[in-house]
Amino acid sequence: MKIVLGIETSCDETAIAVVREDGQILSNLVLSQLEEHKAFGGVVPEIAARAHLDHIDTLIKAAMQDAKIDFTNLDGVAATTGPGLIGGVMIGMMAGKAIAATHDLPFLAVNHLEAHALTARLTNQTAFPFLVLLVSGGHTQILVAEDVGVYKRWGTTIDDALGECFDKSAKLMGLEYPGGPNLEKMAAFCASPQAQKTALEKFPLPSPLKGRQGCDFSFSGLKTSIRNHVEKLPAGDLNREDIAALAYSFQITVGNIVIDRCHNAIEQFFQTYPQGNKPPAFVVCGGVAANKHLRAKLQDLTAQAKMDFIAPPLALCSDNGAMIAWVGIEKLLKGDIDTFAVAARPRWPLDPTAEKRPGGGVKA
Ligand code: KG4
Ligand code: ZN
């Protein structure tokens, strides 16, 4: 049974894992750089790259120890080679190539987005084709996974990624980075039906693209609207009640937008793949998939559509090395091995035929 080491360094997590072909995760370590970036309210690429460099050796050693194997027991080394912050990607990729070269092992260049998409196959053995909603700090896409390496991108954001929109809106509300989880916590304080009704009336937010055809997303108007609401409130620190109400209204609006877009994708999926699996799978992945409100809404939607809803456990939804190792295994089994000449790619779309979209949040 194949065993692969997975290395993930494309953003602000140094993540190393060892995974076996049968889906056993032998080790899975994630070192977050949250503290390093907190003061800046976002990920600073140069700081991220240095931190990866400082910790990667120790973490690889620890992951191998946890898995109770040594390099000679490996069948391959997989590393994220894009898309992502290029400095960090280079560090993980070079570490992976060095281990592979030294121990004469196949090197597997992994697309970070593919790793998120295929996590469902690691956890649930999901059969192709399946529908994927990928919502993270850098990406917001609706994809069909047809096979390893074969994707159709049906929707993407035309401006901010959803996680980015959570983080920027949270920052406007005075919440600490990373905003997503903090915003969710605040929204929970807007708990009574009366408070919720008042929140939606006091802080109405736009739903860009909602009701339109297709599966694209737009979130930048939402952030601007939050800014306008905040500016109209009394100067100084916002009171807790207003923050909770803003966060609640934001979360409800985002949930409705995502459901509207996914509804279109599901219709398109049933039309395009009438002979697909019964029931077909709908996979949600990426850091924002941790959001409970979003999960619940997606669960309802997919139940109505009679789809199998798959949300990997939270530790495998956000960035991790196990998902990288898993794509390494899938590639290895197909004989899709890379040479050491493979380059790091800041942008690497999963579907090269998909139309390019403008906007800072579109990293692929
Ligand atoms: O996939 P991920 O760990 O990293 C990449 O961007 O690739 O996603 C991180 C993003 C951040 O924007 C974070 O704020 C968001 O996921 N996030 C959440 C929640 N937990 C993490 N957003 C909303 N609600 C959450 N509970
Ligand atoms: Zn990610």
d(CA 300, CA 305): 9
Q: Of 250, 288, 324, which is best to mutate to test ligand 1, by the most ligand atoms within 8 angstroms of its C-beta?
A: 288
DSSP annotation of 320 = -
In angstroms, what is the span from residue 136 Cα to ligand 2's centroid?
A: 6
Contact call for residues 73 and 20 (beta carbons, < 8 A): no
Task: Give a yes or no: residue 335 inside a domain.
Answer: yes
DSSP annotation of 103 = T
Ligand nearest to the CA of 115: 2
Whether 168 and 95 share a structural domain: no
Q: What are phi and psi of 349, to 5 degrees?
A: -65, 140
- Is there an atom of ligand 1 within 6 Å of 359 CB? no
pLDDT at 359: 53
pLDDT at 360: 45
pLDDT at 361: 47
Task: Give a yes or no: residue 227 inside a domain.
Answer: yes
- Is there an atom of ligand 1 within 6 Å of 137 CB? yes
Whether 153 and 291 share a structural domain: yes
Q: Of 135, 162, 318, 348, which is best to mutate to test ligand 1, by the most ligand atoms within 8 angstroms of its C-beta?
A: 318
- Is there an atom of ligand 1 within 6 Å of 138 CB? yes
Whether 234 and 323 share a structural domain: no
Using a CB cutoff of 5 Å, list residues around ligand 2, an ion. 136, 319
d(CA 329, CA 48): 27
Whether 328 and 302 share a structural domain: no
- Is there an atom of ligand 1 within 6 Å of 8 CB? no
Task: Check the CA dihedral 150-154-157-161 and report its sign.
Answer: negative
> How many CB atoms are located within 10 Å of the residue 191 CB?
11
Tell me which residue has tokens 């065993």: 3
In angstroms, what is the span from residue 192 Cα to ligand 2's centroid?
A: 34
Give kind and range of the element (H or E) at residue 204: none
Q: Is the pLDDT of residue 84 over 60?
A: yes
The mean predicted confidence, pLDDT, of the chain is 93
Ligand nearest to the CA of 178: 1
Whether 308 and 326 share a structural domain: no
Ligand nearest to the CA of 8: 2
Residue whose CA is at the smallest distance from ligand 1 atom 23: 180
Global pTM reads 0.93
> How many domains does the chain contain in total?
2
Domain that holds residue 85: 3-121+316-349
Whether 300 and 322 share a structural domain: no
pLDDT at 220: 87
pLDDT in tens, 279-304: 999 999 999 999 999 999 999 999 99
In angstroms, what is the span from residue 56 Cα to ligand 2's centroid?
A: 18
Task: Give a yes or no: residue 357 inside a domain.
Answer: no
Whether 159 and 60 share a structural domain: no
Whether 191 and 258 share a structural domain: yes
Whether 32 and 178 share a structural domain: no
Name the residue among 12, 86, 20 with its Cα closest to residue 325: 20
- Is there an atom of ligand 1 within 6 Å of 88 CB? no
The CATH number that applies at residue 288 is 3.30.420.40
pLDDT in tens, 195-236: 999 999 999 999 988 888 999 999 989 999 999 999 999 888
Name the residue among 142, 56, 140, 134 with its Cα closest to residue 99: 56
Joined tokens for residue 138: 């850098």
> How many CB atoms are located within 10 Å of the residue 252 CB?
18
